[in-house]
């Protein structure tokens, strides 16, 4: 697994998923190897995999990278890391609120431009060409969600619409990069 996570592309959001796949594969092979000479090698391998997976789930950076990956959001944590859910939700909410208050404190006095991620969009904003395979909610079918964070967690953001799911994160990256220049 170490060889797979090395390189120039971002792999951190996939660490927990890869550990889960590795653990599931080892457990299946252990079941198949019961009563054979290979049976003894799987228990230490499973123990070490669980050790490193537990280290990864305790790392806030791994949690945030996994959470921000659109394929996972909270779903991976909800399905496989139930014991850690309270801590993970608290961490994500704390980071979101800290970043939100920071962005509000540096916001210019002029009113902000209307966000493109609003549910009232036009056909020109759609990337799906209104075909039969557009399964995303439209117009009045779009769920009304109170916060940007809830919209991201529930996956109810209409993905065929041009815009940002987490606009606050993009703004923060721009501000941070401008400050570093």
- Enumerate the domain spans of the chain: 1-97, 116-181
- Average of pLDDT values for 91-118? 79
Q: pTM for this one?
A: 0.57
SS3 assignment, position 161? strand
**Residue 137 clears pLDDT 60, i.e. is over it:** no
Q: What is the pLDDT of residues 139-168, one digit of tens each?
A: 554 455 456 677 677 665 554 445 555 565
């Amino acid at each position: 697994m170490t060889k797979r996570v090395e390189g120039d592309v971002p792999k951190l959001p996939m660490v927990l998923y890869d550990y889960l796949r590795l653990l599931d594969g080892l457990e299946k092979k252990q079941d198949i190897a019961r009563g054979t000479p290979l049976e003894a090698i799987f228990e230490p391998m499973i123990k070490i995999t669980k050790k490193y997976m537990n280290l990864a789930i305790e790392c806030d950076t791994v949690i945030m990278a996994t959470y921000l990956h659109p394929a996972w959001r909270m779903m991976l944590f909800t399905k496989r890391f139930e014991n850690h859910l309270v801590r993970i939700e608290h961490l994500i909410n704390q980071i979101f609120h800290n970043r939100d208050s920071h962005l509000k404190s540096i916001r210019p006095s002029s009113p902000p431009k209307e966000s493109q991620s609003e549910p009232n969009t036009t056909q020109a904003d759609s990337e799906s060409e209104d075909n039969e395979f557009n399964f995303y909610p439209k117009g009045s079918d779009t769920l009304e969600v109170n916060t940007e964070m809830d919209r991201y967690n529930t996956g109810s953001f209409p993905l065929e619409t041009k815009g940002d799911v987490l606009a606050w994160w993009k703004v923060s990256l721009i501000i941070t990069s401008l400050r570093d220049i």
